[in-house]
Structure 1
C-alpha cells in the first residue's frame, strides 16, 4: 500500500542494510521509489543490497571523503535524489570518565557530522526535486538522557538542532526536513544490548526488556523496524508536504510523563 508518493523518485538510505535502515529502504521501494542504500563496504552488506534489488553505496561515514562521494555516486546510480534518510549510527556504552576519545569522535562524525554533510551535498538535488525530503532518524535519546551514553545522546540531540535549522533554510526552496525519534526498536543492535545486559545483570532477556528498556514506557513492547519505516513513508509522502522541522516521537509514551 502506498501513501500517495510522487512516482519516479529516488532515495538514499544510510545504514540501509540492517535494522531500521533496511526496513525503511524496503518500504520506500514498495512505495515505488528507486533506492540506494549506504553502508560499510562489507560482503554481508552487499549481499543484502543485492538480494533486495537496491543499489549499494559502500562508505564509511566517519570519513569526510566518503561522505563527499556518496551523494554523487547515489545520484549517478539511481538517476537523481529526492529523498535522503540519515539513519546510520552505532552505540558504545561507557561512563564519561572512561569513554574512549576516538570512539567519541567516530560516533559524532557518523551520527551528526555525516547527516550535515550528506544534507549539504544533497541540497541542490533536493531543491531541484520539487518534492524533496530529508528524514533524520534520531532517537528518544534526542529528547531525554540516560547514563553511560554520552556520545550517542550528544549526537542525537544535535540532530534535532540540525533538523530544525535545515527545515528553516529549506522551506523556501521547496523541500522538507524532519526527524523521527523512536524508543527502543528490536534491531540487531538492541538485541545485542539485551543479551549483554541479561548476562551482566543475571536476569532474563524478557526481564531486561520490561524492567530496563521499557521501564519509562507506557506501552511495554519494543517497536519493530517496520513501525519506524511506516512513519518515514508518511513523512516523505505528498500528504506530508506541510510538515517540516517536526520532531516526531514514536516513543511508546516515554515522554508523556
Structure 2
C-alpha cells in the first residue's frame, strides 16, 4: 500500500458534486491516499465545514467552491478559482455532479432539461477543456466521468438524464482518442443503483408503502435490474476511481466501465 500512497500523494483532485453521496466518498478516499482535494457542490454550511475539517486531518490541502456548474459561467469561475490556488491545474478530474428529474417527454420542462444537460454534459466538457492543457504539459492526468448504467441503456421518463449520460460517453471516447499519446486517460464509470442517501430514502419509502422490512424493500427495488440483489457501495465506486489512477490502468482509456450488479448483462 505504501507505494500506492506515494504514487498519488500530492496529486490535486477535483471532484464535482462532492458534498454528499458518491462524490463525497470519492473525495474521502482520495484524501486517504494523500491527494489534495477540491470539493464542489451544495449543502448546509455546517455539514460542508465538518467535511473539510475531517479531510484536513489527513494533512492535505482542502478547498471548497460552491459554483453552480449547470451554468457556463459557474464552470469558468470554478476554473479561475482553482488556477489561482494551483497554477498547474488539477491532476485528477472526477466529473460526478448530477441530479435526476422524472417526467414524460411531452411534459418534460425545458428549463430542467437545459439545467441537467448543462450540469452533466456541458460542465464535463468545459472542465476538461480548461484543465487539459496543463495535464498535457505535465504528461499525466486522469479524467474520470461518473456516468451511469443509463449511459448504456434507457429507462422511461428520464429523457434528460439518459441523454446527458449517453452524451458524456461520447465525450469520454473523443477525449481519450485526443490524449492517447499524452499520459492522460479518460474513462467513464457506469454504476447501477448505488447505496446513497437518495437510494436509502427510496427504500424507506417502499418499506412503508409495502409494509415490509428495509431489506425486503431494497430487494424488491433491485430485483428488476440487479441480478445480484445488492446495491453498489459508494466506497466501491471510490475504489474504482483509485484503480483508474494507477499505472495498472494506464492502458484503459475511452472505456465506459460498468459496475451494475449485472444489469446490462441481460
Match of 1:34 in 2: 36
State the structure with bigger RCO (CA 8 A, min sep 6), 1 or 2. Answer: 1
Q: Give the 3-state SS of the residue equivalent to 1:223 in structure 2.
A: coil
Matched with 1:52 is: 55
Go from structure 1 to structure 2 and tell me whether the alpha carbon gap of 1:103 and 1:206 turns closer, same or farther (over 3 Å shift).
Answer: farther
CA distance in 2, matches of 1:237, 1:10: 14
Q: 1:117 aligns with which of 117, 126, 133?
A: 126
1:163 CA drift (Å): 0.4
1:186-215 C-alpha deviation (Å, 9 max, x unpaired):
112222333445566776654442223342
Is the 1:185–1:223 Cα contact (8 Å) retained in structure 2? yes
Structure 1 unaligned segments of length 5 or more: list them: none
Q: Could you tell me how far 1:58 is from its partner in structure 2?
A: 1.5
For residues 95-106 of structure 1, the aligned pairs below 5 Å read: 95-106=104-115
Q: In structure 2, what is the Cα distance between the partners aligned to 1:201 and 1:64?
A: 43
Contact kept? 2:228, 2:262, Cα under 8 Å? yes
Q: Which residue of 2 aligns with 1:162?
A: 171
- Say whether residues 1:143 and 2:152 are aligned partners: yes
CA shift for structure 1 position 96? 1.9
- Which residue number in structure 2 is paired with residue 92 of structure 1? 101
- TM-score using structure 2 length: 0.88
Unaligned runs of 5+ in 2: 57-61
Distance 1:124 1:50 in 2: 32
Q: CA RMSD in A?
A: 2.1
In structure 2, C-alpha distance between the alignment counterparts of 1:27 and 1:225, rounded to whole Å: 10
Aligned length: 257
After superposition, the Cα gap between the structure-2 partners of 1:168 and 1:96, relative to the gap in structure 1 and judged at 3 Å, is same
Post-superposition offset of 1:256: 1.2
Aligned to 1:23: 25
- Take 1:33 and 1:129, find their aligned partners in 2: how far apart are those partners? 16
Q: Does 1:172 align with 2:174?
A: no
Distance 2:204 2:44 in 1: 24
Mapped contact 1:12–1:74 kept (Cα < 8 A)? no
Q: Distance in 2 between matches of 1:45 and 1:183?
A: 27
Tell me how far apart the structure 2 counterparts of residues 214 and 7 of structure 1 sit (CA, whole Å).
40
Larger mean Cα displacement after TM superposition, 152-161 or 205-214: 205-214
Distance 1:207 1:97, change over 3 A: farther
8 A Cα contact 1:15 1:39, kept in partner? yes
State the secondary structure of the residue aligned to 2:180: helix
